[in-house]
Chain A
């Protein structure tokens, strides 16, 4: 399967713990995006990378959220000191640089904070 893959698919954690999600984009895509989606809502933009550069991070929900893409390939999204309100589906997507319309999404990582 050469699509976007995310790991883990499901994560249950206790409030206050740190969690990290990984995203492996389609190999030839140089743009990578993180979105969050809660039930009944559309995806909410968090951040994006072009290669290893993080070009937009002002939409990260708080300073507890951080993302990296150290070698311009896979990316990680970390949430520190999780809160119950962080429970959501975290979606990763990738695209070609010149194609700003079609994002290829992974199946998401569902986070439940108890």
Chain B
């Protein structure tokens, strides 16, 4: 089983839709959580950190459920420019500062 798992998608949604991605992690010795975004043929970039209390950044909301070991990302009012792959990232207490990436979920927003 992979340490960080995501549904690869693709999620095809119309502009203006709300879409949610989940990510599960297998190691309970988890420390920090993040969402990265990777555009086609580009490098990954940090989208947002995920805090225990949940956090929001504009149209993006991240939630953490430690008991169930999953992280979610909600995108409201989807834009064409949101089309990308969203990578769930976890660091584990027993692995120093190694950021472990999930396989990514591909989102395609259509007009």
Contact = CB atoms under 8 A, between A and B. Distances in A.
Interface of A: 31, 33, 35, 40-45, 48, 55-56, 59, 91, 100-103, 105-108
A8 to B, nearest CB: 16
18 contacts: A35-B101, A40-B8, A41-B103, A41-B104, A42-B6, A43-B87, A43-B101, A45-B99, A45-B100, A100-B32, A100-B97, A101-B32, A102-B46, A103-B46, A103-B99, A105-B44, A106-B43, A108-B43
Given A48-B97, A56-B96, A101-B32, A42 B87 contact: yes
Interface string B31-44: 01010000000111
A94 B100 CA distance: 15
Contacts of B34: 101-102
A45 B89 CA distance: 11
Nearest to A31: B97
Nearest to B102: A42
B49 interface: yes
Interface of B: 4, 6, 8, 32, 34, 42-46, 49, 87, 91, 95-104
Nearest to A45: B98
Sorted nearest first, the 9 A-B pairs with minimum C-beta distance are A42-B101, A105-B43, A102-B46, A100-B97, A42-B103, A43-B101, A42-B104, A45-B98, A42-B87
Nearest to A44: B101
Given A43-B87, A100-B32, A100-B91, 19 more contacts: A35-B101, A40-B8, A40-B103, A40-B104, A42-B101, A43-B44, A45-B99, A55-B96, A56-B95, A56-B96, A56-B98, A91-B43, A100-B97, A101-B34, A101-B46, A101-B91, A102-B34, A102-B46, A105-B45
Nearest to A105: B43
A5 to B, nearest CB: 11
A40 B6 CA distance: 12
Contacts of A56: 95-96, 98
Contacts of B8: 40
